[in-house]
């Protein structure tokens, strides 16, 4: 969906949401002198497509605030789960689970962009006592699970999808994972179990941005060929350009009820929207403006992204 002259209304609006995500996280990167920026650049279109077009989530009456951390959710205290930003749960509604906890700022920006997180809430981002943590946890907006130790959410999503099938829910369970998490053994145990139990209402969206903390994923621990690996595990697989809204949405719409879970492999660019960062690849896991030239380039990129967000 690069040619906006032929884009339909939803594509134009969803593209704006994606640019707002990028702009917001870049703004915070400048303000905080560093942030998980590249993750927002790579995943913005996937998240925008999910929140505006793919997921069936209950609407909220109004954007929610995220009060300070009041203890972990669950008994005996009643601290709210970050899942409430996805609306009330329902048998015919979807669930959306986030696995890579360092993508939290991209999730907060996405929630703000689609009117689920109150504007201004991000002012407390990464400050003591705030639930808008740099590394999200089960109390952070959008998060139902604590998954800072990676590779866990696919198994948990499979468990949730399995339980939902026992209850005859018709809603789908979606989980977002990063490509570095495919290096984790538990990911593949989860994939194996999901196929074994025939969980065809389970969908995993992978942000294949090619990088992990120590460099290119292919150099640290190669995960390719991801497509044939998932196929071999008994999944349906769609390989898409993770910046092409049509391709992402169509991958889900083409899914048949055939007893197989779906993996949508979204190949992305971790500098998308800020070409200035191209030269720093693959060292974009955590981005700081280091020089005055960086700061000037970041400010210029912010202006452009904000312009495209309106
Ligand atoms: C089980 C586990 N091992 C190692 C880490 C440390 N770690 C934090 S971020 C990261 C990189 C993960 O890859 P990815 O999410 O693809 O990186 P990105 O694309 O965000 O740079 C690693 C290995 C962790 N959080 N959990
Ligand atoms: Mg990655």
Residue 89 has pLDDT above 80, yes or no: yes
Residue bearing the CA closest to ligand 1, atom 17: 212
Residue 292 has pLDDT above 70, yes or no: yes
- Quickly name the fold that domain 39-66+77-286 has: Rossmann fold (3.40.50)
Our answer on whether the CB atom of 143 is closer than 6 Å to any ligand 1 atom is no
* Ligand 1 nearest-atom number relative to CA 184: 1
**Ligand 2 centroid vs 206 CA: distance in angstroms?**
9
Atom of ligand 1 at shortest range from CA of 179: 16
Q: Is the pLDDT of residue 2 over 60?
A: no
Q: Rounded to an integer, what distance in angstroms lies between the CA atom of residue 296 and that of residue 290?
A: 11
The percentage of residues in the chain with a pLDDT greater than 70, rounded to a whole number, is 96
Q: pLDDT tens digit string along 173-222?
A: 999 999 999 999 999 999 999 999 999 999 999 999 999 999 999 999 99
Q: Whose atoms come closest to the Cα of 220: which ligand? A: 1
Nearest to 199 by CA among 259, 255, 263: 259
To the nearest 10°, the Cα dihedral for 84, 85, 91, 97? Answer: -100
Helix (H, G, I), strand (E, B) or coil at 169: coil
Better pLDDT: 6 or 80 = 80
Q: Is pLDDT above 90 for 59?
A: yes
- Give the ligand with the smallest distance to the CA of 99: 1
pLDDT at 80: 82
Q: Give per-residue burial for 159-185: e unless 16+ CB within 10 Å, then b.
A: bbbbebbeeebebbbbbbbbbbbbbbe
- Residue 92 alpha carbon to ligand 2 centre in Å: 32
**Distance (Å) from CA 197 to ligand 2 centroid:** 28
Find out whether 202 and 195 touch, Cβ atoms under 8 Å. Answer: no
Å from CA of 11 to ligand 1 middle: 31
CA of 114 to the centre of ligand 1 (A): 27
| Closest CA to ligand 1's atom 25 | 149
Question: In the prediction, which pLDDT does 6 show?
Answer: 72
Average pLDDT, the chain: 95
CA of 210 to the centre of ligand 2 (A): 5
Lowest-pLDDT choice from 68-82, 177-191, 266-280, 294-308: 68-82
**Distance in angstroms (rounded) separating the CA atoms of residues 285 and 283:** 6
From the CA of 151, give the closest atom in ligand 1: 1
Average pLDDT over residues 76-100: 91
Tell me, using a 6 A CB cutoff, whether residue 232 lines ligand 1.
no
Start-to-end CA span in the chain (Å): 18
Contact 223, 217 (CB under 8 A): yes
To test ligand 1's pocket by mutation, which of 145, 181, 205, 212 has the most ligand atoms within 8 angstroms of CB?
212
**Which tens digits make up the pLDDT trace of 98-152?**
999 999 999 999 999 999 999 999 999 999 999 999 999 999 999 999 998 999 9
pLDDT of residue 5: 58
Distance 94 CA to ligand 1 centre (A): 27
Ligand 1 pocket: which of 36, 102, 224 to mutate (most atoms <8 Å of CB)?
Answer: 102
Pick the atom of ligand 1 nearest to 103's CA.
Answer: 20
pTM: 0.96
**Separation of 280 CA from ligand 2 center, angstroms?**
15
Phi, psi values for residue 29, rounded to 5°: -65, -40
Please say if the pLDDT value at position 95 is more than 70.
yes
pLDDT band with cut points at 50, 70 and 90 for residue 76: low
Q: Is 172 in the pocket of ligand 1 (CB under 6 A)?
A: no
Neighbour-count burial of 280, counting CB atoms closer than 10 A to its CB (0-12 exposed, 13-18 middle, 19+ buried): middle
pLDDT at residue 3, as a whole number: 54
């Amino acid at each position: 969906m690069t040619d906006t002259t032929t884009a339909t209304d939803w594509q134009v609006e969803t593209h704006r949401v994606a640019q707002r995500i990028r702009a917001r996280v870049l703004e915070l990167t400048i303000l905080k002198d560093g942030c998980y920026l590249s993750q927002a650049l790579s995943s913005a279109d996937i998240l925008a497509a999910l929140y505006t077009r793919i997921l069936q989530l209950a609407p909220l009456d109004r954007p929610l605030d995220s009060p300070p951390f009041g203890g972990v959710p669950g008994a005996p205290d009643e601290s709210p789960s970050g899942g409430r930003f996805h609306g009330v749960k329902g048998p015919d509604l979807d669930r959306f689970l986030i696995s890579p906890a360092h993508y939290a700022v991209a999730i907060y920006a996405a929630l703000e962009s689609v009117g689920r997180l109150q504007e201004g809430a991000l002012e407390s981002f990464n400050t003591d006592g705030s639930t808008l943590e740099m590394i999200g946890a089960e109390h952070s907006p959008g998060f139902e699970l604590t998954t800072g130790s990676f590779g866990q959410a696919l198994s948990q999503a499979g468990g949730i999808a399995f339980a939902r099938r026992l209850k005859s829910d018709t809603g789908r369970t979606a989980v977002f994972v990063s490509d570095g998490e495919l290096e984790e053994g538990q990911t593949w145990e989860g994939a194996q179990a999901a196929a074994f139990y025939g969980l065809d209402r389970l969908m995993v969206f992978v942000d294949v941005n090619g990088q992990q903390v120590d460099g290119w994923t292919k150099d640290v621990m190669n995960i390719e060929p991801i497509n044939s690996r998932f196929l071999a595990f008994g999944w349906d697989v769609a390989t898409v350009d993770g910046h092409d809204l049509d391709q992402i949405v169509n991958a889900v719409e083409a899914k048949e009820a055939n007893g197989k879970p779906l993996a949508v492999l979204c190949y992305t660019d971790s500098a998308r929207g800020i070409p200035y960062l191209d030269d720093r690849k693959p060292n974009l896991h955590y981005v700081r403006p280091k020089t005055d030239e960086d700061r000037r380039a970041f400010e210029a990129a912010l202006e452009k992204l904000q312009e495209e967000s309106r």
